[in-house]
């Protein structure tokens, strides 16, 4: 089920505010993820500063797929396939979400309120479920 118009507005507003600080936010994201889950470090082969599983890309995919997840089904299916091929497991999506949300909380401060968090969670989980389903179907 797609997110509501209000949830989409909350997500877009918070995304804009992190977008302006995307370089430090990306760096912080990797620090947080690997502090929480050092075992996931080995999945990332590229230079983290330059490319890789970009924080920005992930947030952008969430934002792009908000109201019309069916319109981006093919993109999420491809991402699901590429991630399964990289060795990403279904259970890895939860620590990824928690690291993303910790960084969003740091950057948004009081703006990271319960309603905004719930909206992000719905959008992230909807997107992750599609990627996971595609990866399983490989």
Q: Does 136 bind ligand HEM (CB under 6 A)?
A: no
- Binds ligand HEM by CB under 6 A, chosen from 61, 63, 108, 129: 61
Q: Does 22 bind ligand HEM (CB under 6 A)?
A: no
Q: Long-range pairs for 37-43 at CB < 8 Å and ≥24 separation?
A: 37/95, 37/99, 40/92, 40/95, 43/86, 43/87, 43/88, 43/92
Residue among 20 and 45 whose Cβ is closer to ligand HEM: 45
Q: Does 43 bind ligand HEM (CB under 6 A)?
A: yes
- Give Cβ neighbours of residue 62 (< 8 Å, ≥ 6 apart): 11, 15, 120, 123, 124, 127
- Binds ligand HEM by CB under 6 A, chosen from 66, 88, 103, 123: 88
Q: Does 101 bind ligand HEM (CB under 6 A)?
A: no
- Binds ligand HEM by CB under 6 A, chosen from 53, 84, 104, 119: 53
Helix and strand element counts for the chain (H, E): 6, 0
């Amino acid at each position: 089920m797609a997110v509501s118009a209000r949830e989409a507005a909350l997500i877009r507003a918070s995304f804009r505010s992190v977008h302006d600080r995307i370089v430090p936010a990306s760096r912080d994201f990797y620090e947080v993820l690997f502090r929480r889950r050092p075992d996931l470090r080995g999945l990332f082969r590229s230079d983290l500063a330059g490319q890789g599983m970009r924080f920005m890309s992930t947030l952008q995919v969430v934002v792009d797929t908000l109201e019309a997840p069916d319109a981006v089904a093919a993109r999420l299916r491809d991402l699901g396939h590429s991630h399964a091929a990289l060795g990403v497991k279904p259970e890895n999506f939860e620590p990824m979400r928690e690291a993303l949300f910790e960084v969003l909380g740091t950057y948004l401060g009081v703006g990271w309120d319960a309603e905004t968090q719930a909206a992000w969670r719905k959008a992230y989980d909807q997107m992750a479920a599609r990627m996971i389903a595609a990866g399983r179907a490989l």
